[in-house]
Amino acid sequence: MQNTVTPTHCPYCALQCGMNLTPAPDGTVEVSERADFPVNRGALCGKGRTAPAVLSSSVRLTSPLVRSEGGSLVPASWEEALGRIAGRLGRTRAEFGADAVGVFGGGGLTNEKAYSLGKFARVVLGTSQIDYNGRFCMSSAAAAGGRAFGLDRGLPFPLEDIPKTGCVILVGSNPAETMPPSLRYFTELKENGGTLIVVDPRRTRTAEQADLHLAPRPGTDLALALGLLHLIVAEGRTDEAYIQERTTGWEETRAAAMAHWPEYVERITGVSVPQLREAVRLFCEPEAAMVLTARGPEQQSKGTDTVGAWINLCLATGRAGRPLSGYGCLTGQGNGQGGREHGQKADQLPGYRKLTDPAARAHVAAVWGVDPDSLPGPGRSAYELLDALGTDIRALLLMGSNPVVSAPRAAHIEERIRSLDFLAVCDVVLSETAALADVVLPVTQWAEETGTTTNLEGRVLLRRRAITPPAGVRSDLEVMHELAARLGGEGGGLEKGFPVDPEEVFEELRRASAGGPADYSGITYRRLAEENGVFWPCPAPAAGPGPLHAAGPEAGALDTVSDGPERAGEPRTGTGVHPGTPRLFLDRFATEDGRARFVPVSHRAIAEEPDAEYPVLLTTGRVVAQYQSGAQTRRVDELNAAAPGPFVELHPRLAERLGVADGDPVAVVSRRGRAVAPGRITTAIRPDTVFMPFHWAGEGRANTLTNPALDPISRMPEFKACAVRVEAARP
């Protein structure tokens, strides 16, 4: 093992922080600061610093496992494991049809893997039943952004713009714990004289930094945004010139907002009228301002409309498509953005193309060398796919996800997974879901493979291989190559469409995305290495801008590169190389007429309001030392020492009524199940609300309780609010 420093990126959240990796003589890997990467500028959270711990053979999978006749998972050869998967998937498809085989992906897969998995499902298996866990992350924000702007990208501007604006409203986000290196942007905002408004039912570490903390009842963010828009109209703070020049649909939206007067909104949300007025003042007085949302308003059965209401707030005040202003979504998963852009999502093809668009189907089919009519149509969304397991979906190939812990109504989903005829899982560890599989394949991790990811800014990054994986481990790309060879039928040769070299896959992805909304065709591995990332859309010079690229430099949106110390601000027009698009919409939006669309929305209740039997609201979230389902972070001693297990956060008044002290076991019961964890008594939570983190399996599994009620547009489940009963958990 060579003592070589490799610049790369963290495997966890969507910041995709830069770091350096150096193999040590004892076989471990050391993490060091990488100050040249502009997103984190060297800063790393505990998860990033300890990420190499999961590379250890003592905690990760190093051999394929197959289910023995006795029912246990036992080591097997790759030939036997791949043969079993291909045989069972092939027989299921032949006997019950292609849609009897499902595919479930993950937001941590690289762009190359996500692209290949979508292609594998549609070309090799011929199934429409593919989706991924990113549906649980930011699908509501994606739907709302696409509806309003004609294009969805997590942030339509780089993070570096945040400290330079005048006010940020941060809705349902706790970056101090979910992505700590990003907190510096909000600290710098305040140091520069800007203000921070945090909307969260809990007084989180982030809320403690706010100039104004609004603590609405969970599930009422939509009413809150409508109440603020009502006051903006009533106080004459709208930007009428901007509305006239750059938007459509204002009259209907204004009428809907005026039905939500402040006192009415106060009764719904619990946020006082004086606080509403102060929020309007802080947001409207500066020349520029932003609204950033995260899972709080998005993981609701009305998440698309809720995010849309906050977008309407930006449009009404002229705070979108202008320098240092706009709406953005703080994506959660490491490659949640790229994962859906290139084909894992049930209704999308590479380049963010719609699967129902004949032109999109024709373009991608030509790249893949297949008949457009052979491509299946849209399938089920993530929860609906999981809910159908064991019924008409009889076999499942799962890569990089752990729905036994992460899915809503998790006990039910665990039952559905157990009812499958066959389950194959590709993962780096034996997660709770992998433990139920018939075949488990050990695959390479972030530091053992090269590939690209797309961070929350839309910045495409090159994650470099730093070490050699263990002998018994293969990449997901190799898995798909081998399965395609075995499932190719009499003619064979399908494996040729599934190369194992990630750069070769990326070159095909470039062609498939060309001309689409998420156009990567002008991005190459060499550029990514030289420029520290490139923002999409970035069309190839010969192709010119695609139909939605009027936001690019050709329309005057941006003609400089904003990252990389050697090129910061250096114009690149005239070189024949598209510079990428750090800032979208500055001249026009990505709609047919170039105008943003107001969408009128009205408050409606959550799917499950409290009642006499279930009188309290549950909301869920994360803690700083764990990540997502905890499949990897729960294997790191340092992180477990900081966050050893689940807990129930409850207000002192509720604790007194229950007769429980801090640390006593507390049972939280919903219509879907029961979870038990130690109580944590704090005034940081509303008296009518309890909070549980969702990183753990077993008795304290928060998603045993959560409600799978789906948003009608995004199909996002309502993780953030459901009715529960709280009890002292007596022995």
pLDDT of 195-232, one tens digit each? Answer: 999 999 999 999 999 999 999 999 999 999 999 999 99
Amino acid at 699: E
- What integer best gives the mean pLDDT of the chain? 93
Residue range 89-109: mean pLDDT, rounded: 97
Residue 556 is predicted with a pLDDT of: 29
At 405-426, the pLDDT tens digits run 999 999 999 999 999 999 999 9
Say whether pLDDT at 574 is over 70. no
Cα-only R_g, the chain: 25
Say whether pLDDT at 570 is over 70. no
Q: What is the pTM of this model?
A: 0.94
Please check whether residue 66 is in contact with residue 463, taking contact to mean a CB–CB distance below 8 angstroms: no
Residue 625 is predicted with a pLDDT of: 96
What CA–CA distance (Å, rounded) separates 401 from 113?
13
What CA–CA distance (Å, rounded) separates 568 from 31?
26
Between these two residues, 699 and 332, which has the higher pLDDT value? Answer: 699
Strands (E), 242-322: 247-248, 290-293
Phi-psi group of 502: left, alpha or beta (phi > 0 → left; psi -120 to 50 → alpha; rest → beta): alpha
For the record, the structure tokens of 426 come out as 């590709």
At 351-407, the pLDDT tens digits run 999 999 999 999 999 999 999 999 999 999 999 999 999 999 999 999 999 999 999
Say whether pLDDT at 575 is over 50. yes
Helical H segments across 33-156, by residue range: 46-49, 78-96, 111-119, 139-149
What CA–CA distance (Å, rounded) separates 395 from 267?
49
Residue 731 is predicted with a pLDDT of: 64
Cis preceding-peptide flag for 537 (omega within 30 of 0): yes
Helical H segments across 103-249, by residue range: 111-119, 139-149, 175-178, 183-191, 221-234, 240-246
Residues of the chain above pLDDT 90, percent = 91
Residue 494 is predicted with a pLDDT of: 87
Pick from 213, 263, 256, 216: nearest CA to 233: 256
Query: Quick one: the chain helix, strand, coil %, rounded to 5?
Result: 35, 20, 45
Please, which pLDDT band fits residue 542 given cuts at 50, 70 and 90? Answer: low
Say whether pLDDT at 69 is over 60. yes
Say whether pLDDT at 569 is over 80. no
Say whether pLDDT at 548 is over 50. no
Please, which pLDDT band fits residue 550 given cuts at 50, 70 and 90? Answer: very low
Domains, the chain, with CATH or none: 6-55 (2.20.25.90), 65-136+335-495 (3.40.50.740), 139-329 (3.40.228.10), 616-728 (2.40.40.20)
Tell me the CB-side half-sphere exposure of residue 33, using CA atoms within 13 A.
Answer: 8
Residue range 242-254: mean pLDDT, rounded: 98
CA angle 286, 288, 291 (to 5 degrees): 105
Pick from 660, 665, 655, 661: nearest CA to 687: 655
Residue 207 is predicted with a pLDDT of: 97
Please, which pLDDT band fits residue 545 given cuts at 50, 70 and 90? Answer: very low
Question: Which residue in the block uniquely carries the two structure tokens 């297990």?
Answer: 645
